Amino acid sequence: MSPSLLLLLLLGLWVTSATARCTITTFAKTYKKCVTLPTQGASLAWTYHPLNATLDLAFSGSFISPSGWIAWGLNPDSPAMTGAHALVAFSDPTSGGLLLLPFVLDPSVKLQRAPLLSRPFGLHLLSSSAVLRGVPSARAGAEVQIFATLKLAPNRTRLHHVWNRGLYVQGYSPTIHPTTPSDLASRATIDIASTASEVTPPVPDALPSAHAALNAASWGFLLPAGVAVARYLRQRTSMGPSWFYAHAATQIVGFLLGTVGFAMGIIMGSRSPGVEYGLHRGLGVAAFVAGGLQSAALLFRPKTTNRYRKYWKSYHHFVGYGCAVLGVVNVFQGMEVMGLGRSYWKLAYCLALSSLVGVCVALEVNSWVVFCRKAEEEKGAVPREGGGVESHHQVVKGKA
The 3-state DSSP class for residue 324 equals helix
User: Crossing angle for the helix pair 278-297 and 309-337, nearest 10 degrees?
Assistant: 150
Amino acid at position 144, single letter:
V
| DSSP state, residue 338 | T
DSSP string of 36-67, one letter each residue: E-SSTT-EEEEEEETTTTEEEEEEEEE-SSTT
Non-local (6+) Cβ contacts of 164 within 8 A are 40, 70, 71, 81, 177, 183, 186
User: Does 160 belong to an annotated binding site?
Assistant: no
Cβ burial, residue 334 (10 Å; 0-12/13-18/19+): buried
Q: Nearest to residue 120, comparing CAs of 72, 87, 159?
A: 87
In sequence order, the β-bridge partners of residue 188 are 161, 199
Percent helix, strand and coil across the chain, each rounded to 5? Answer: 45, 20, 30
Task: Label each residue of 195-246 as H, E or C.
Answer: CCEEECCCCCCHHHHHHHHHHHHHHHHHHHHHHHHHHHHCCCHHHCCHHHHH
258 Cβ contact partners less than 8 Å away, ≥ 6 residues apart: 214, 215, 218, 219, 223, 287, 288, 291, 327
Rounded CA-CA distance 80/273 in Å is 7
DSSP state for residue 277 in the 8-state scheme: -
Residue 316, marked binder: yes
Residue 280 annotated as lining a ligand binding site = yes
Q: Which of 61, 48, 137 is nearest to 99 (CA)?
A: 137
Are the C-beta atoms of residues 214 and 205 closer than 8 Å to each other?
A: no
State yes or no: 247 annotated in a binding site. yes
Phi-psi region of 343 (alpha: psi -120 to 50; beta: other; left: phi over 0): beta
Which amino acids are annotated as binding site for heme b, given as ranges? 211, 247, 280, 316
Which amino acids are annotated as binding site, given as ranges? 211, 247, 280, 316
